[in-house]
Amino acid sequence: MTPQEMKSLIDETLEDLGFSHFGFTSLSKPLSFEFYKEWLNQGLHGDMKYLEDHAPIKEDPRSKWPRAQSALVFAIPYFPHPEKKQDFPLKQARVSLYAQGMDYHFWFKERMASLCKKLQELMPNEEFLPFTDSSPVLERDLAKRAGLGWVGKNTCLIHPKKGSLFFIGEIYTSLKLQTEVAPLPDFCGTCTRCIDICPTGALLEPRKMDARKCISYLTIESRQVPPENLREKIGDWFFGCDLCQTVCPWNQKIFKGQLSIEQNLNLSKESEDLLIEDLRYILSASGKKIGRVFLGTPLARAGSFGLKRNALIVVANKKIKSLKEEVTALLEHDKLGELAAWTLDRLKS
Ligand code: B12
Ligand code: SF4
Ligand code: SF4
């Protein structure tokens, strides 16, 4: 199959699957692999040890998938969220846009798997393997090489007409497909809005993040309580953070007036009450109940410990005195006791 035939075939299904754009590239060594290695050597990945374990396969995908020759790379927008959860239990807690629905690890992968099935029927002797996020693939590098966007100073992949609020997924295949498009040029220019707005200074320099400082890491990936000097900077973010993307002029242009760039949201009395209700629920619900209610959403990843930790920080930063009782009840918690005491202290001032 020629690249042009493959493109036409996929173009037909693109809209049905909700993908916004796609491209393909050969599976050569990632262009930024040395940067990635150096980033790991500097310890900027914090406790995400799996990123170290994945390095050899990211460098040479064929060491794990010997037949893989190329990747079909897909983008799927998450704003507005395509897989909303009807009974999402939170009304006002500040949750990053990608997490305001069902977990993409399941539904995005399923959509790519359905495409794989179709391709497999047409080409029974070839191999098609779908991945997104958690597999050992350097996705932004791959997507850049496939022409899906440029790597912005906020480290995100941005497309001039689609912005950056999209997930990346890929199908590895035994087919030999050469990229026919040149990678997009860098359109950041002299802009530094993302670096300037980051509350924790996680963007150390253009395209280089200290993940240990990123609110997404601190509220989602980390299994620890954040160091004291970062707690206040998390502000009212309960799960993840979007600021370095929502401030980006390329997203602002596409999603006119729909993206908040407030460091801390200024809530009406009614919204403040809803926030308090959300936080009370998280602080007092059992681990079992939290697990059940958030099943299938990205919030399940943080688990009961992570969500209670995040709630305590928001209570402290928003100075929500009416939740004092719920905070006090966590003073004896083996992992959260210190944070609960810190929160109570903040509520006094
Ligand atoms: C670990 C991880 C995180 C960490 C670290 C993020 C980071 N910037 O490093 C944390 C938890 C902080 C995080 C946060 C988020 N993440 Co994340 N994350 C990942 C994951 C699993 C690995 C990323 C990684 O290896 N980081 C290490 C750094 C060094 O690598 P990198 O970010 O990929 O950057 C590469 C490029 O920038 C490239 N590069 C730089 N300059 C140049 C120049 C050229 C020419 C080229 C070719 C490449 C290049 O070099 C880097 C290393 O090779 C990927 C999925 C995957 N398998 O790749 C998702 C992924 C990057 N995350 C994603 C998302 C959506 C998010 C959040 C928006 C979620 C949220 N709202 O909370 C935030 C965004 C924060 C931000 N500004 O990045 C998407 C990004 C989509 C996009 N459009 O870019 C991905 C691809 C997941 C997916 N399948 O969709 N994430
Ligand atoms: S997601 Fe938030 S904390 Fe992380 S780099 Fe962007 S602005 Fe900074
Ligand atoms: S905010 Fe500006 S510098 Fe940052 S990614 Fe967007 S265009 Fe680039």
Could you report the per-residue pLDDT of 37-51, keeping only the tens digit for each?
999 999 999 999 999
Percentage above 70 pLDDT, the chain: 99
At 183 the pLDDT is 85
Using the predicted structure, report yes or no on whether residue 179 has a pLDDT greater than 90. no
Residue bearing tokens 């953070």: 241
Name the region of 141 (left: φ>0; alpha: ψ -120 to 50; beta: rest).
alpha
How far is Cα 81 from Cα 178, in angstroms, rounded to an integer? 32
Indicate the top mutation candidate among 192, 196, 208, 261 to test ligand 3's pocket, ranked by most ligand atoms within 8 A of CB: 192
Q: How far apart are CA 216 and CA 211, in angstroms?
A: 8
Residue 180: pLDDT band with limits 50, 70, 90: low
Cα–ligand 1 centroid distance for 125 (angstroms) = 33
In the chain, at which residue ranges do the beta strands (DSSP E only) sit?
A: 21-26, 70-77, 94-95, 128-131, 150-151, 157-158, 166-173, 203-205, 208-209, 237-239
Q: Which ligand is nearest to the CA of 74?
A: 1
- Asked if 175 contacts 209 with a C-beta cutoff of 8 angstroms, the reply is no
- Tokens matching residue 184: 């997009």
The arithmetic mean of pLDDT across residues 235-246, rounded, is 98
Domain ranges of the chain: 3-32+46-173, 267-349
Ligand (nearest to CA of 155): 1
Q: What pLDDT digit, counting tens, does each position of 99-135 carry?
A: 999 999 999 999 999 999 999 999 999 999 999 999 9
Residue of 133, 73, 67 whose CA lies nearest to 103: 133
d(CA 155, CA 289): 36
Ligand closest to Cα of 164 equals: 1
Number of neighbours of residue 31 by Cβ within 10 angstroms: 13
Q: Is the pLDDT of residue 155 over 90?
A: yes
Q: How confident is the model at residue 4 (pLDDT cuts 50, 70, 90)?
A: confident
> What are the residues whose beta carbons fall under 8 Å from the beta carbon of 323, sequence distance 6 or more?
276, 279, 280, 283, 315
Alpha carbon of 274 to ligand 3 centroid (Å): 33
Question: Mutate which of 95, 151, 155, 200 to test ligand 2's pocket (most atoms within 8 Å of Cβ)?
Answer: 200
Distance 33 CA to ligand 1 centre (A): 13
Residue with tokens 């495409």: 115
Which residue, among 292, 272, 288, 269, has the nearest Cα to 280 in the 3D structure? 272
Q: Give the up-direction half-sphere exposure of residue 178: CA atoms within 13 A in the CB hemisphere.
A: 2
Q: What residue type is 236 in one-letter code?
A: D
Q: How many CB atoms lie within 10 A of CB 71?
A: 26
Task: Please check whether residue 166 is in contact with residue 254, taking contact to mean a CB–CB distance below 8 angstroms.
Answer: no
The pLDDT score that the predictor gives to residue 6 is: 83
Distance of CA 287 to the CA centre of its chain: 24
Residues noted as catalytic? 133
| Nearest atom in ligand 1 to 221's CA | 11
Per the CB < 8 A criterion, the answer to whether 99 and 296 are in contact is: no
Give CA–CA dist 161/253, Å, rounded: 9
Nearest CA to ligand 3 atom 2: 191
